[in-house]
Amino acid sequence: MLGNNTNNECDLVYKTFTNITSIACGIFHSVALRSDGTIECWGDNRFNQCDPVYKTFTNVIEINCGCIHSVALRSDCTIECWGSNRNIQCDPVYKTFKNVIEITCGEEHSVALLSDGTLECFGSNSENQCDPVYKTLNNIITVACGGRRSVALRDNGTIECWGSDTDNQCDSVYKTFKNIRLPNTDYILK
């Protein structure tokens, strides 16, 4: 791991971790998922992004990081969130989400994909990244966040985008995209 280690983001503690199956990074912190469903966290803790609360999480199957917050998906389809809450990115509303099958984080917001193909969003809405438009979406099969926007892929191969559009990140041109290929598959959606 390279970096200037100003905020312990390159602390060599990660060298002691074993059985790591997945990793995620925020701005100054990193999270590692172990094969036994526990997680490790290292780096800057100025905003509680490495708060020891993560040590209490078990049966974790997926991790993701925003700038200064992290989210963990458990095998019982619930999520945990820790780190900064200055823009409600760890708002306890996430505790009410059930049947979560995928999580992703933007800069200061997170999106959860539910098993029924709908979404839940929590965190900052400074640029409409948690605009209620997401509540109108259905048949979602995967979702991704970037900075202050989110993109969802529907089962018909079309995408939806919401959030920041300051540099045309959500320009309506995406509405013309058809037959988007699913990652790691050999087929195109209909």
The pLDDT of residue 177 is: 59
- Mean pLDDT value across residues 7-32: 84
Phi, psi at 92, each rounded to 5°: -60, -5
Structure tokens at 44: 């800057």
- Confidence bin at 180 (pLDDT 50/70/90): low
Asked whether residue 16 carries a pLDDT value surpassing 70, the answer given is yes
pTM: 0.87
Give 5's contacts (C-beta < 8 A, 6+ positions apart).
11
Asked whether residue 112 carries a pLDDT value surpassing 90, the answer given is yes
CB atoms near residue 64 (< 10 Å): 23
- Confidence bin at 140 (pLDDT 50/70/90): very high
What DSSP assignment string belongs to 86-154? TTSTT-GGGGG--SEEEEEE-SSEEEEEETTS-EEEEE--TTSTT-GGGGG--SEEEEEEETTEEEEEE
The pLDDT of residue 8 is: 57
Asked whether residue 146 carries a pLDDT value surpassing 70, the answer given is yes
The pLDDT of residue 166 is: 74
CB atoms near residue 147 (< 10 Å): 18
